[in-house]
């Protein structure tokens, strides 16, 4: 639009006023100007809010770690799951630490070589262990667990294993009577 046309229609909204740089004033009002200093504050405020939220989450995690927030039943399920998944991964240390000291000292507790040989053969022949569910009943510092499991390649041969899990200090351990 030429300046002559604008002069001919000074109040017509079809012909908005223009700034010296050529942009209509209504767009400058609606979208803001190009001053970089003016647009910095919303970003700084948003960054401050995010920083405060992250600090709160970290503080909560430090004061109350996730493992402390688990119920006894969930902790029991974790230790039983650790014992069974150790058999899949042939992780003897994980398997051993899932059991109480008394259980580890029994004559029937496998050595590392026995554990590895037995579980590798079963895993290679029938697949890894799958635990669809387990029944957990916690009474004080003792829990009774029935683990329903099968091998991946033999889903039709479901098994149930009954375990006793006891609390030793702050940790639950498999410890059959």
pLDDT digits (tens, 9 = 90+) for 113-159: 999 999 999 999 999 999 999 999 999 999 999 999 999 998 889 99
Residue 26's pLDDT is 57
Mean model confidence pLDDT for the chain = 83
pLDDT for 23 beyond 70: no
Q: How far apart are the first and last CA of the chain?
A: 94
Question: Tokens at residue 43, please?
Answer: 């970003």
Question: Candidates 3.10.450.100, 2.40.50.140, 3.40.50.620, 2.30.30.830; correct CATH number of 66-174?
Answer: 3.10.450.100
Q: What is the pLDDT of residues 31-42, one digit of tens each?
A: 555 555 557 788
Rounded average pLDDT over 13-21:
55
Domain spans in the chain, listed from the N-terminal domain onward:
66-174
Whether 12 shows a pLDDT value over 70: the answer reads no
Handedness of CA 69, 71, 72, 76 (dihedral sign): negative
Would you state the pLDDT for residue 148? 95
Q: Please tell me the predicted confidence (pLDDT) of residue 7.
A: 53
Given CA atoms 59, 61, 65, 69 in this order, what sign does their dihedral have? positive
Of the pLDDT bands very low, low, confident and very high (cuts 50, 70, 90), residue 13 is low
The pLDDT assigned to 151 comes to 92
- Residue 29's pLDDT is 58
Share of the chain above pLDDT 90, in %: 60
Please state, in angstroms and rounded to a whole number, the distance separating the CA atoms of residues 33 and 98: 65
């Amino acid at each position: 639009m030429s300046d002559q046309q604008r002069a001919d229609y000074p109040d017509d909204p079809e012909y908005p006023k223009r700034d010296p740089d050529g942009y209509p004033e209504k767009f400058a009002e609606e979208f803001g100007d190009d001053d970089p200093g003016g647009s910095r504050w919303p970003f700084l405020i948003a960054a401050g809010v995010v920083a405060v939220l992250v600090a709160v989450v970290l503080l909560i995690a430090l004061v109350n770690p996730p493992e402390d927030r688990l119920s006894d039943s969930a902790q029991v399920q974790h230790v039983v799951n650790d014992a069974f998944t150790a058999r899949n991964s042939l992780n003897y240390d994980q398997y051993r630490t899932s059991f109480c000291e008394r259980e580890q000292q029994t004559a029937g507790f496998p050595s590392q070589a026995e554990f590895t040989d037995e579980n590798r053969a079963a895993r290679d022949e029938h697949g890894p262990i799958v635990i669809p569910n387990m029944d957990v009943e916690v009474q004080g510092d003792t829990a009774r667990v029935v683990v329903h499991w099968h091998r991946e390649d033999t889903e039709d041969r479901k098994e149930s294993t009954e375990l006793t899990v006891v609390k030793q200090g702050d940790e639950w351990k498999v410890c059959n009577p």
